[in-house]
Amino acid sequence: MTAKLLAGRRVLAIGSALPDLAQGPLEGAIVTTGGLDRLIGVGAADADLLIIEADSWGGAALAAGVQALALCAAPPPVLLVGANLPTAVVRTLLRLERSDVLEAPFSNENLAAAVAHLMTARAAPAAAAPAPSGDIARCWAVTGAVGGSGATTIAIEIANQLCVRTGKDKSVCLIDLNLADGSAAAYLGASPAMRLPDLARAADTLDHSMLQAFATPLTKQFDLFSAARDPQAFESIPPEAILRLLEVACETYQWVIVDMPRHRRAWSVQALSGCDEVLVISELTVPALLAARSLSDEIERAIGSGRKPRIVLNRVAGRMFGPAPSLAEAERALQRKAEGGVSSDWEAAAASVNLGGPIATHRPKSKIVKDVQQLVERLAGEAAQRDGQTTRAA
């Protein structure tokens, strides 16, 4: 596909290892090579595509080259590739209208896909990164009362339902803050794109463009923010960087769903205080219900706004077998009403994680989908009502 796209197109390769690509993923293109100085004043007359190999250059020289490119009136589309991609360079580059970054190691297919995307972006500039929405998003946090209660599963389904509800491009994101071992990316069959060393350095600098470098687009509407497993992650990321990530995401998307770690971190209370809703997911066992009650009380006390987390019962069986508590017994143990129940459907849940994607995609008729849809409708409806009341009061 790229051979057709690139037939006769002029690719200017800035780096020493790139000419070999002319026989591979850049087949069909007229590839010339040059130094970083070629980026000064470069325009459509010089090349149809720029590929910059970051590892061929020192950090300062690369930064200066990309800065020069940013000053050009109408630079060609540009792809930055390499193993060492300095954050500042990536930020400058991603501000350009047609730009992308590919982290090494990458396959010929990865490179071909990135090139194809850039070359077609010319005809479809509207597919560029979303502009900040101007409004502050609704942010809902989802956390489990006990391990494995279904927080990630429900967070994914909620985000997916919100995409259906809004129908707008780039309107919903899911942020997996289980930084050490989050499973949202694996459940969605996606590759994590949030590089933790970059996030750690970004407390003061993270902005809308950089946020896009951390996003894994899942559909036209739905972006995922997640990092590769890292046992040191919680120790290595300053709280300010996490809070900044949430803040910028809320300025960019209409809905932000956060998969929150169960154990409290230095930033947990502040993050939860900024959320419009906190959903505590419990299963229907006595220990889980007791844990849900105390976690919910703890969160309520810590955020101190009088807002109560909502408890959602997951894996509710249509007909109870064995000594599982009934809904009434569950609510007695919780000492409050549950916000809703999500049916148990192991086949649908397992099929979706194995295929990679929301249950609504792979098993749209599952009761899980209907239950989450009702939950979302109710919560989003209440939020809209509150907004209406605030507007009238003002």
Ligand X SMILES: Nc1ncnc2c1ncn2[C@@H]1O[C@H](COP(=O)(O)OP(=O)(O)OP(=O)(O)O)[C@@H](O)[C@H]1O
Positions in the binding site for Mg ion (CB under 5 A): 151-152
Q: Which is nearer to ligand X, 198 or 345 (CB)?
A: 345
**Which residues 6+ apart lie within 8 Å of 75 measured at CB?**
42, 43, 50, 69, 96
Pick the stretch among 79-87, 97-105, 117-125, 342-350 that binds ligand X (CB under 6 A).
342-350
State the Cα–Cα distance between residues 343 and 314, nearest whole angstrom.
6
Torsion sign over Cα 108, 109, 112, 114: negative
**Nearest CA to 101 among 86, 79, 123, 76?**
79
Identify the residue among 344, 361, 373, 374 touching ligand X (CB under 6 A).
344
Nearer to ligand X, 112 or 369 (CB): 369
Indicate the Cα dihedral angle 208, 212, 213, 214, nearest 10°. Answer: 100
188 sits near ligand X (criterion: CB under 6 A): no
Total of chain residues touching ligand X, rule CB under 6 A: 20
- Coil, strand, or helix at residue 143? strand
Beta strands 215-217 and 222-225 are antiparallel
Both structure tokens of 66: 């990309």
From the CB of 351, what's the least distance to ligand X, in Å? Answer: 9
Whichever of 154 and 218 has its CB closer to Mg ion, that residue is 154
Tell me the per-residue interface mask from 147 to 186 with ligand X, x by CB under 6 A, - otherwise.
Answer: xxxxxxx------------------------x----x---
CA distances from 378 to 84, 174, 239, 373, 382 (A): 46, 20, 32, 9, 6
User: Which of 349, 360, 375, 380: binder of ligand X (CB under 6 A)?
Assistant: 349
Report the residue number, 138 or 363, with the smaller CB distance to ligand X. Answer: 363
- Going by C-alpha positions, the residue among 138, 142, 159 that lies closest to residue 221 is 159
Q: Which is nearer to Mg ion, 81 or 145 (CB)?
A: 145
Nearer to ligand X, 92 or 226 (CB): 226
User: Which of 65-73, 140-148, 270-278, 375-383 is the region at the interface with ligand X (rule: CB under 6 A)?
Assistant: 140-148
Q: Which does 129 bind (CB under 5 to 8 A by kind): ligand X, Mg ion, none?
A: none
The CB-nearest residue to Mg ion is 152
Note whether 121 and 48 are within 8 A (CB): no
Q: Which lies closer to ligand X via its Cβ, residue 49 or residue 349?
A: 349
Which of ligand X, Mg ion, none does residue 314 bind (CB under 5 to 8 Å by kind)? ligand X
- The answer to whether 366 and 359 are in contact (CB under 8 A) is yes
Query: Cα(325)–Cα(313) distance, rounded to whole angstroms?
Result: 11
Establish if 321 lies at the interface with ligand X (CB under 6 A). no
The label of the residue with tokens 């009761």 reads 367
Find the helix packing angle between 87-94 and 59-70, rounded to 10°.
10
Is 309 among the residues that bind ligand X (CB under 6 A)? no
Residue 363 binding ligand X, by CB under 6 A = no
Q: How far is the CB of 200 from ligand X (least distance, A)?
A: 22
Give yes or no for residue 289 binding ligand X (CB under 6 A). no
Does 2 sit near ligand X (CB under 6 A)? no
Nearer to Mg ion, 21 or 159 (CB): 159
Residue 373's binding partner, choosing from Mg ion, ligand X, none, with beta-carbon cut-off 5 to 8 A by kind? none
Q: How far is C-alpha 279 from the geometric centre of its chain's CA atoms?
A: 19
Do 244 and 164 meet the contact criterion of CB atoms below 8 Å apart? no
**Using rule CB under 6 A, residue 82 touches ligand X:** no
CA-to-CA distance for 41 and 72, rounded, in angstroms?
5
Residues that bind ligand X (CB under 6 A): 144, 147-153, 178, 183, 314-315, 342, 344-346, 349-350, 353, 368
